[in-house]
Amino acid sequence: TECSPPTAATNVSQYACLRRTTTENHNKIFTDVFEELAENSEFNESKGPCLAFRRAASVLKSLPSAVHCLGAIQGLPCLGEHTKAVMEEILIFGRSFKVEEVQSDERYQALKLFTSVFGVGPKTAEKWYRRGLRSLKEILAEPNIQLNRMQRAGFLYYMDISKAVSKAEAKALRSIIEETAHWIAPDSKLALTGGFRRGKEYGHDVDFLLTVPEMGKEEGLLLRVIDRLRDQGILLYCEHQGSTFDMSKLPSRRFEAMDHFEKCFLILRLEEGQMEGDGGLQKDPGESRGWRAVRVDLVAPPVDRYAFALLGWTGSRQFERDLRRFARKERGMCLDNHALYDKTKKLFLPATSEEDIFAHLGLEYVEPWQRNA
Ligand code: TTP
Ligand code: MN
Ligand code: MN
Ligand code: MN
């Protein structure tokens, strides 16, 4: 009787787009463990288990209260025998021996450390590990290692960009980039996306969409914004990708495929005095150099694709995965960052807002702050 399943558990959907998930996570003790196990599976290229752990974490994040006993998860989707066994360990012992085993694994430690560097993916990390390298110092000291430009920036600003970005810092960057964009194109619009649009207090970067109301006018805009940021002395690093967008192409079925919009991955210099809320007060002058480096993603979709780009770049990743899976499996539609295609009717479904896209999919609208799946 002390442990009956909450009534909510009986109608939780397997799709994150049919759940509401705020930033308030009542089951962090479980989801942190599942996310680490997912990451470990990713390093071992075990795609099935990786997805299973991610889905389990996502379902638990959507619950309105903390799980105190296994009875409370009866009937919940995406929780199999394996994930339940991990939860049981945590409920009984207050810790997971499985995750502790992973955390103490030399290879896991090295791959986690290496992939924490901007520009270093699992493939490169694995290569370095196989060469016997274990620390960042060893990588920098190894003469035969060729770092690309992105990785060099990743090492150069490692301390700053591995530090969380606050909401105040995100707002300050927004003002700076907006002012720069308006100086070039007064009718341009800058929208905050990613985790900060979902209401997160901290992020690993800041994501923006930049658009102009007239089709085609976005061409060349991003490059001019980058030039201007460089002139202002705040551009520390820039990787620009031109548009490879083809209107006639069907939406991609591979989620992890990069989108085709013109975009840039930046590292910007943010002065401490530019932040709201610190009252312009200098922190301990001995400790602070007065500025920090911040990772920024800036995307420039054509205006008729704005709604799709906004939905795709707002995340969370798990929410996006499930939205696409739902579209494909339940509606026979294909969704990506650029378009929504109805495979039965063989036509593209246009949208000027995120609400339009949810309506096309026959879904209730989910607010950005409810997409923290
Ligand atoms: P991220 O910035 O990686 O993640 P986040 O903002 O949710 O969290 P964090 O605080 O750690 O920054 O990605 C934001 C969204 O952008 C995510 O849903 C995936 C999407 N995205 C694309 O659609 N295409 C891309 O090429 C990239 C890099 C991200
Ligand atoms: Mn609550
Ligand atoms: Mn982000
Ligand atoms: Mn990003």
The residue whose two tokens read 């929410």 is 319
Contacts of 249 (CB under 8 A, 6+ apart): 338
pLDDT band (50, 70, 90) for residue 276: low
Per the structure block, which two tokens stand in for 183? 């100086």
Phi, psi torsion values for 342, nearest 5 degrees: -90, 110
Q: Domain check: are 65 and 136 in the same one? A: no
Q: Domain check: are 189 and 68 in the same one? A: no
Q: Domain check: are 324 and 272 in the same one? A: no
Domain boundary residue among 266, 285, 307? 307
Domain boundary residue among 85, 101, 117? 101
The answer to whether position 26 is within a domain reads yes
Instruction: Establish whether this prediction's ipTM goes over 0.85.
Output: yes
CB of 320 closer than 6 angstroms to any ligand 1 atom = yes
The answer to whether position 285 is within a domain reads yes
- 205 an active-site residue? yes
The answer to whether position 1 is within a domain reads no
pLDDT (mean) for 190-212: 98
Domain boundary residue among 92, 124, 156? 156
Mutate to test the pocket of ligand 1, among 202, 207, 259, 338 (most ligand atoms within 8 A of CB): 207
In CATH, what number is assigned to the domain containing residue 58? Answer: 1.10.150.110
Amino acid at 132: G
pLDDT per residue over 298-350, tens digit each? 999 999 999 999 999 999 999 999 999 999 999 999 999 999 999 999 999 99
CB of 218 closer than 6 angstroms to any ligand 1 atom = no
The answer to whether position 358 is within a domain reads yes
Of 2-6, 114-118, 154-158, give the lowest mean pLDDT range. Answer: 2-6
- Cα–Cα dist 367/94, whole Å: 34
CA 122 to chain centre: 17
The answer to whether position 95 is within a domain reads yes
Q: Domain check: are 50 and 142 in the same one? A: no
Q: Domain check: are 65 and 127 in the same one? A: no
Phi, psi torsion values for 300, nearest 5 degrees: -125, 85
Cβ atoms within 10 A of the Cβ of 306, count?
Answer: 20
Count the domains in the chain: 4
Mutate to test the pocket of ligand 1, among 205, 298, 308, 318 (most ligand atoms within 8 A of CB): 205
Residue (of 49, 70, 47, 45) closest to 60 by Cα position:
70
Range of the domain at 148: 107-156
Please tell me the distance between residue 191's alpha carbon and the centre of ligand 3 in angstroms. Answer: 13
The answer to whether position 96 is within a domain reads yes
- 284 an active-site residue? no
Residue nearest to atom 16 of ligand 1 (CA): 313
CB of 205 closer than 6 angstroms to any ligand 1 atom = yes
In CATH, what number is assigned to the domain containing residue 179? Answer: 3.30.460.10
Count Cβ atoms within 10 A of the Cβ of residue 81 and give its class: 0-12 exposed, 13-18 middle, 19 or more buried: exposed
Which pLDDT value is given to residue 1?
42
